[in-house]
Structure 1
Amino acid sequence: MQTCPESTASLISVMGISMGDEGKGRVVHEILEEIESVSGKPAAGVMKVNGGANAGHTAAGLKLNLLPSGVGNPRVPQLLIGAGVVADPRKFLWEAKPLEARGLSVLSRLIIDEKTQVSDLSHRLLDLAWEDYRIKQLGMENRGSTGRGISPAYSDETGQWQMFYLAFKQDRKGFSSALQGRVQRATDTIRHVCKVSEKDWFSFFETLTEAEKRANEDSIEGEIFSPEEFDFIRFRANEPYALNLELLEEVYWQAGVELVSCIGDIRPFLLGNKPSSQPIVAEFGQAYWLDKRHGFTPNVTASHTTGSELFHSGGIPLREVREIGCCKAYDTKVGTHHFLTRIDHEADALGRKLAKLEFGTSTGRQRMVGWFDAVEKGNALRFGGFDELVINKLDALTLDDGIDCKLKICVAYRQKDGSIIREVPRSEQVRRELTPVYEEMEGWDTDIGSLSSYAELPSETKAYVSRMVSSLLEAAFPDGIESSKLPKVRFIGIGPDPGQIISDVPSTDELVAHSNLTPSVR
């Protein structure tokens, strides 16, 4: 890959422009490799901007949720956790220690900002309780929460009950008092507001224990942790709606104390990184359409996922940043989202193939699959903004195994009155009444995973790429595409392994010109 010569930004952010699961972790890996290849020196650091243990990626062969994906590169000197993150201290250790057992330095590189918020068991119990409330008290369908306590932890911030990692560097009495108040509020809410039954209350601890023992099976088998480490039942009191507070406090305090050397102020580090310095790569969790304010409410995350959150989380003023928007060559969603371009993966052969590739790293849940929605990505460019575009998993659309079908791109929406629009309505009720307008494209059956240049791609593949890009731009620029504002296609992913990318993609102007064809419109 070629580093863009016009960019002098000391910050590079990698964010999703769909509904998450765009392969941002692999993009971070490729960017880190590129920085070192071009300059001969590694990036100055990698920063996790938002969210918590509800993100998912793989590093050094391990599935991770909390540590930034750059942890897998041992030459990156600093792993930063922004103040916009909510994190369970035990989770940091659950991820760091198995990596260190493999010879990878983690804790010596980790800097958790002092203003990062502490989450704990009470938030996870609240997460399960609110899901129980929605289903049993309100009669709503399962929202598919990750159960990691992310939303309740962020609720503490808006309720001004937050606890910061700074607490672990101070007197234990303050931590103890804050934790007691937090637990009391949680148990009162679970009992009196969510109206969780005693049976369900006790089952929550079993649910969490089973989930964490399964997720950390390798660490247990490798004797890095004992099974008791992931036993949540021990925190349950004998009577309902109560916790063994003494044990809970001891376990969380000791986890925090173990991390004290990793807790600091990341602001001077971010501010001290001059344009002439090696860049810092900022890694966002989730994606544009999951933003808590601008996403598809109520199926959103609890944090901000748009570019400006980098500066809130980092605690620094606005400065130049190079923003990379990530998507896949098709769409995926998880949970109860209304999915306009969804493919029936039971009836559709290509849908079945794609579905086999799509399971959540965090939850293991089957993702829904669908055709590329250019309107969503175009609106993410128009209102969220990004300088460069990465398209992952183009290889997955190869029509192998006898699959015979046309590929589709959603280029617009049809409203109930028959009119056509190229923007995402802000009303979820209106959005649910739309039907996608597709353009059909010829597919390809050539294996593209071993190719190394754009010129080698089949003509049908190049046509599909060109139309993805041009239809995205049509939605982003309703008054006409502005050449001066076009994002560059930085690379295209053609396989899961490092280096399986096409980086010599033609200019965006050339791609738009190449898409001047007359596809079938449905």
Structure 2
Amino acid sequence: MANVIIVGTQWGDEGKGKIVDLLTEHADLVVRFQGGNNAGHTLVVDGKQYVFHLIPSGILYESKGCFISNGVVIDPQVLLNEMEELAGHGLPVTPERLLISERAHLIMPYHKLQDAGSEASLAAGRKIGTTGRGIGPCYGDKVLRHGIKLGDLLDRELFREKLGQCLEEKSFLLTKRYGLEAPKLEAIYDEFMGYAERLAPFVGNVSLALDRGRRAGKHILFEGAQGTQLDIDHGTYPFVTSSNTVAGNACTGSGFGPAHIDAVIGILKAYTTRVGEGPFPTELFDATGDQLQRKGGEFGATTGRKRRCGWLDGVIAREAVRLNGITDLAITKLDVLSGQPELQLATSYQADGATLEAMPNNIKTYDNLKPVYEKLAGWSEEIRHAKCLDDLPAKARAYVKRIEEFTETPASIISVGPGREETILLRNPFIS
């Protein structure tokens, strides 16, 4: 039995979906523990591309149990659309294959309006780059104890009562602060009662189900969304997401005891990308950055937005190891670096005459922050054929080794292409 957490080490988009899919073959249960449909995992299986926003990517395996836990915020329409799309691919989602936590909070129509209104009200340079899907306002209501849970949806009277209370406040905010038309109670009630009928068979106690699985000796895989530097507490605040993306939230976000975790896999892209606004110390604004963007197909799985690209930031990689307690790295998109004559690894920052070995807290510090680079030799050979470490060019192996040395963390997985088969598995956390 092993219980393994997968987290992103950068700003998301590190290729977590593929690694989750790879390890799901050896797991019994797969859990999505935070975030909403502002995140996406892209998988390529047998030449077919799948994009998941809420359902764990382990759903591609018919024998696996999948869970959406209490730490996730759910847009019911998006979830149902995702189920229908999978059914269209011949992968019907049944209650036997998917359990959704009764404690997960619902994204309501007014959350999306509030999200859009708030972002539009911010001055240029202060915009967060939110996806506008209502995730932040939903988490905000959860913390303020104004939220509506999926379990509430199954009690018609309770749902109507809570909806009325929420709309009274939201209507004032939307109309007076943002100049928007507030949604009507009856319209929302009718819409969500339709969702309730379709989702009711999938709702239950995820924490209890996971504990039963653990006691039965099941292998459990916890799947995070986004990346460490988007964590609400530890990321580049305020340019972050609205939840805790670090490994510790796998436990609070699913109701699973931390003493039962055996390994934490940190997904580290071989270079660095970021979608949206916010600091990005190693960002490249030249032909190299454009080349990485094109070759890596760097567009957001959820938003379609072009990703900003830069050299590998060792500072945030090492910080991710510390914050998450990472035991193993999975280095992804190493193949994208093929053809680069020289590579650079940021080992520290300089700001106002001081050397920084961690991301600064003061957002203004980023204005004068410059990365300090260590140069490494690149390689010209294509590597997508590599099946083991020895198949990689010597300079590619040296690059991987330097990452391991700098982060003081071994690489257990190396991805050399988007396909399932284009992966070098050095250590399987569910076996060794």
Task: Give the TM-score normalised by structure 1.
Answer: 0.77
- 1:353 pairs with 2:275: no
Aligned residue among 81, 97, 100 for 2:84: 97
Matched residue of 2:284: which SS? Answer: coil
- 1:159 pairs with 2:99: no
Distance 1:91 1:314 in 2: 21
Matched residue of 1:424: which SS? Answer: coil
Matches within 5 A, 1:122-201: 122-135=110-123, 139-170=124-155, 172-193=156-177, 195-196=178-179, 201=180
How many angstroms does 1:140 deviate by? 4.3
Matched residue of 1:498: which SS? Answer: coil
Matches within 5 A, 1:51-62: 51-58=35-42, 61-62=49-50
* Counterpart for residue 414 of structure 1: 350
1:275–1:439 CA distance, 2 compared to 1 (3 A): farther
Distance 1:323 1:296 in 2: 22
* Counterpart for residue 306 of structure 1: 246
- 1:370 pairs with 2:310: yes
Matched residue of 2:309: which SS? Answer: strand
Matched residue of 2:256: which SS? Answer: coil
Distance 1:92 1:340 in 2: 35
* Counterpart for residue 84 of structure 1: 71
- The letter for the 1-side match of 2:418 is P
Unpaired runs of at least 5, structure 1: 1-7, 36-42, 202-240, 474-486, 506-522
- The letter for the 1-side match of 2:421 is G
Aligned residue among 368, 379, 395 for 2:319: 379
* Counterpart for residue 458 of structure 1: 393
- The letter for the 2-side match of 1:85 is V
1:364–1:499 CA distance, 2 compared to 1 (3 A): same
- The letter for the 1-side match of 2:283 is R
How many angstroms does 1:381 deviate by? 1.0
How many angstroms does 1:316 deviate by? 3.4
Distance 2:347 2:215 in 1: 39
Q: Of the two, which has the highest radius of gyration? A: 1
Greater RCO (Cα-Cα under 8 Å, separation 6 or more): 2
Large movers: runs of 4+ above 4 Å: none
Root mean square deviation, CA, Å: 1.8
Matches within 5 A, 1:368-517: 368-399=308-339, 405-417=341-353, 419-473=354-408, 487-504=409-426
Matches within 5 A, 1:220-259: 241-259=181-199
* Counterpart for residue 430 of structure 2: none
Contact 2:314–2:406 (CA under 8 A) maintained in structure 1: yes
How many angstroms does 1:313 deviate by? 1.6
Matches within 5 A, 1:108-123: 108=95, 109-123=97-111
Matched residue of 2:253: which SS? Answer: helix
* Counterpart for residue 511 of structure 1: none
- Greater fraction of residues in strand: 2
Contact 1:168–1:257 (CA under 8 A) maintained in structure 2: no
Matched residue of 1:380: which SS? Answer: helix
- The letter for the 1-side match of 2:391 is E
Cα deviations by residue, 1:200-237 (Å, 9 ceiling, x for unpaired): x4xxxxxxxxxxxxxxxxxxxxxxxxxxxxxxxxxxxx
Unpaired runs of at least 5, structure 2: 428-432
Contact 1:494–1:500 (CA under 8 A) maintained in structure 2: yes
* Counterpart for residue 30 of structure 1: 22
1:461–1:140 CA distance, 2 compared to 1 (3 A): closer
Distance 1:376 1:275 in 2: 36
- The letter for the 1-side match of 2:352 is K
Matches within 5 A, 1:210-225: none
How many angstroms does 1:430 deviate by? 2.7
Give the number of aligned pairs: 419
Cα deviations by residue, 1:439-493 (Å, 9 ceiling, x for unpaired): 11121111100111111211111111112222223xxxxxxxxxxxxx3311111
* Counterpart for residue 269 of structure 2: 328
How many angstroms does 1:352 deviate by? 1.7
How many angstroms does 1:431 deviate by? 4.0
- 1:292 pairs with 2:232: yes
